[in-house]
Amino acid sequence: MFEQRDKIKRSFSPIYLGIFSGIILIILIINGLLEITRAKKGFHLLLEREAIVLIQHFEKNIQETLTSLLWMESRPGKHFSNPSVSGLFFGLEDSVAEYLLEALHRVDQIDGEKPLNLPALRALIDQYHVTSIEIYDSEGRSLRGEPSPSFYPEKKFLLRELIETKHPVAIDLFGKPLTGDQWFSIAIWRRVNPEIIALYLNGDQMKGLLRQFAIQRAISDIGLREGILYISVQDASLNTIAHTDPTFVGRREENPFLRNSLQSNRVLSRNYQSSQGEEIFEVVKSVSLEDQSVGVIRIGYSPKEIYPVLSQIKKNIILSVSFFLILGISAITLIGVNQNRHLRKMKDMEDRIQLAERLSSLGHLAAGVAHEIRNPLNAMGMGLQRLKREFLPRDESKKEEYISFMELILKEIRRVNQIIEQFLTLSRPFQLSLRKSSLQDLLKNLISLLQEEASSLGIILQAVIPTELPLITMDPETLTQAFINIMKNGMQAMGQGGTLRIEAKSLKDGVEVMISDSGSGIPPEQMEKIFNYYYTTKEKGVGLGLPIAHRIIEAHGGQLRIESQVGSGTKVTVRLPV
């Protein structure tokens, strides 16, 4: 018995499967997160490789452009002899002229809205990287502005050309060496007032504009695919000299990452958020000319391209986790149900073992009781019967009392003998004498047998027994004893008055007999004990009637079920196979 209990305790518990499922679930989630990280790293690696190819292309163009500019600077006026350099130079001249003309028209517009003071003019000078901006009247006299260099000899010729020829624009930007002592200028007539606006810059400033537009052209030679947010070139001071968005040109952007990129020969990358909160993946590489760093190239990518991939991975993770959760819960439920069934079987086995042990003990007890008590009881019974017959008092008044007293003693002796018989029945293994018999006849005989006792207690016996009940395999004597025990329990539960109903019906594979009383019912706390040996709530009860009936029914391969409700009575259902 103790070994069985140990096995039950050591049996597999659903909690272990729950823990195992939780571990697998955590592993799935971690693996999903790692998969997302791997996808991001792979995507960034592809973008970095693409950026390296683009940067190499841009770097080559920028180096060729800067080399051509250095060649022009070292050989003033010689660019006409080199067709490739000549084409580059003329293209850059047009870009510079358009840029400066746009600057003059912008000054004209701003001054027309509100006359420019000296600080405002200086701000525009810094913005357009020139030396001075001046406004003249129609005669060439200076009205206001940041004065141009007084030693600039071509100044009067530029103004005279505008005044005398009435041309809308006068340009003196090309055909000179790009040295610091050279001056360049451009002037226009104002659109509304009869005034002239002139802009002046030195050779170094002209050289800077040419470089800026040369680099801008270098990064504009290739069409950018969707997903590239910007391409930016910054000089050694991290001033933006070229950008796919021209509004960024001239701005300075400095941080430790860009400083490290400027000093490193490797391609570096990072993730960061722009001032607008947009996530950007950026690849940066320094640009060198003659082994000297002259700036950095930055390419910014939008990571939105990977969002659909990440979204699909997340969906797969959710589906996997959900599937595993459903599978795990189903497995835990099935194992729990199966284990409960197994535990119930083990419990039944324990109960049967305990019952066998009890019966074994009862067998030894019953044998001793029968041997020690039964013979004296028989002798006492026979002696009392002789006393009752042969020694009656002669006085008639005492004769009735004498007989009543003797009957009482004989009744109690018979009750003790009946208890001994129950002990013997319980202790002995059943040896059923099975044969096909009529359950209908058995029940009718049983009702006739108990009818007189029921009437004396004021109990009505109701029988609903169909005539077409099939014959069943049974031992009529032992089965009669089982039904007597059940019916007497019902009659004793009602006391004086009530109804005991006996109903039988055929089933597909057997017969069902229902015996119900109108007694007080059995409380729920007592229902679990009614089949325990010696458990009784009656003053003179022994507690063996129902256990013996239960044992007899099970020996016939049947089932005994009891349903009870306090205040409504008790119903005993017996099912027997055919």
* Rounded mean pLDDT, 174-194: 83
Structure tokens belonging to residue 552 = 């007899």
- Residues 6 or more apart in contact with residue 335 via CB below 8 angstroms: 12, 14, 17
Is 80 exceeded by the pLDDT of residue 82? Answer: no
What pLDDT was estimated at residue 89? 52
- Confidence band, pLDDT 50/70/90 cuts, at residue 10: very low
- Confidence band, pLDDT 50/70/90 cuts, at residue 572: very high
Q: Which residue has the higher pLDDT, 542 or 117?
A: 117
What pLDDT was estimated at residue 388? 74
- Spell out the SS3 assignment of 25-62: HHHHHHHHHHHHHHHHHHHHHHHHHHHHHHHHHHHHHH
- Domain residue limits, the chain: 79-212, 431-577
- Confidence band, pLDDT 50/70/90 cuts, at residue 329: confident
What pLDDT was estimated at residue 453? 85
Residue indicated by tokens 């490789």: 49
Is 90 exceeded by the pLDDT of residue 193? Answer: no
- As a whole number of angstroms, the distance between CA 6 and CA 466 comes to 50
What phi and psi, each to the nearest 5 degrees, are found at residue 271? -110, 135
CA neighbours closer than 13 Å in the CB half-sphere of residue 546: 21
* Rounded mean pLDDT, 288-307: 79
DSSP-derived letter for residue 223 is P
Task: Determine the longest span between alpha carbons in the chain, in angstroms.
Answer: 181
Q: Which residue has the higher pLDDT, 82 or 187?
A: 187
* Rounded mean pLDDT, 281-297: 80
Task: From 564, 535, 563, 559, select the one nearest 547 (Cα to Cα).
Answer: 535
- As a whole number of angstroms, the distance between CA 225 and CA 139 comes to 53
pLDDT tens sequence across 473-528: 998 888 888 898 889 888 888 877 889 999 999 988 899 999 999 888 888 777 77
What pLDDT was estimated at residue 3? 39
pLDDT tens sequence across 47-67: 888 888 888 877 777 777 667
What pLDDT was estimated at residue 430? 62
| Cβ(236)–Cβ(295) below 8 Å | yes
Checking DSSP bridges between strand 498-506 and strand 459-464, what pairing results, if any? Answer: parallel
| Cβ(298)–Cβ(254) below 8 Å | no
Counting residues of the chain whose pLDDT is more than 90, the rounded percentage is 7
Q: Mean pLDDT over all residues of the chain?
A: 79
Which span out of 296-310, 370-384, 556-570 was modeled with the highest average pLDDT? 556-570
pLDDT tens sequence across 370-425: 667 767 777 787 887 777 777 777 777 777 788 888 887 887 787 677 667 666 66
Q: Which residues pair with 145 in a beta bridge?
A: 134
The total of other beta-carbon atoms located within 10 Å of residue 421's CB is 13
pLDDT tens sequence across 207-254: 888 877 777 777 776 666 778 888 888 888 888 888 888 778 778 888
What pLDDT was estimated at residue 575? 93
pLDDT tens sequence across 482-492: 898 889 888 88
| Cβ(486)–Cβ(515) below 8 Å | yes
Cα 507 to chain center, whole Å? 50
What pLDDT was estimated at residue 131? 86
- Residues 6 or more apart in contact with residue 537 via CB below 8 angstroms: 526
In degrees, rounded to 5, the angle at the alpha carbon of residue 164 between the alpha carbons of residues 159 and 166 is 90
What pLDDT was estimated at residue 90? 54
* Rounded mean pLDDT, 292-310: 81
| Cβ(99)–Cβ(129) below 8 Å | no
User: Could you check whether 79-212 and 431-577 share the same CATH topology?
Assistant: no
What pLDDT was estimated at residue 505? 92
- As a whole number of angstroms, the distance between CA 453 and CA 472 comes to 28
CATH homologous superfamily of domain 79-212?
PAS domain (3.30.450.20)
Query: For the structural domain made of 431-577, what CATH number should be given?
Result: 3.30.565.10
- Confidence band, pLDDT 50/70/90 cuts, at residue 356: low
- As a whole number of angstroms, the distance between CA 30 and CA 26 comes to 6
- As a whole number of angstroms, the distance between CA 303 and CA 47 comes to 9
Size (the chain), residues: 578
Cα 215 to chain center, whole Å? 53
Is 80 exceeded by the pLDDT of residue 206? Answer: yes
pLDDT tens sequence across 431-477: 778 899 999 999 998 888 888 888 888 889 999 999 888 999 998 88
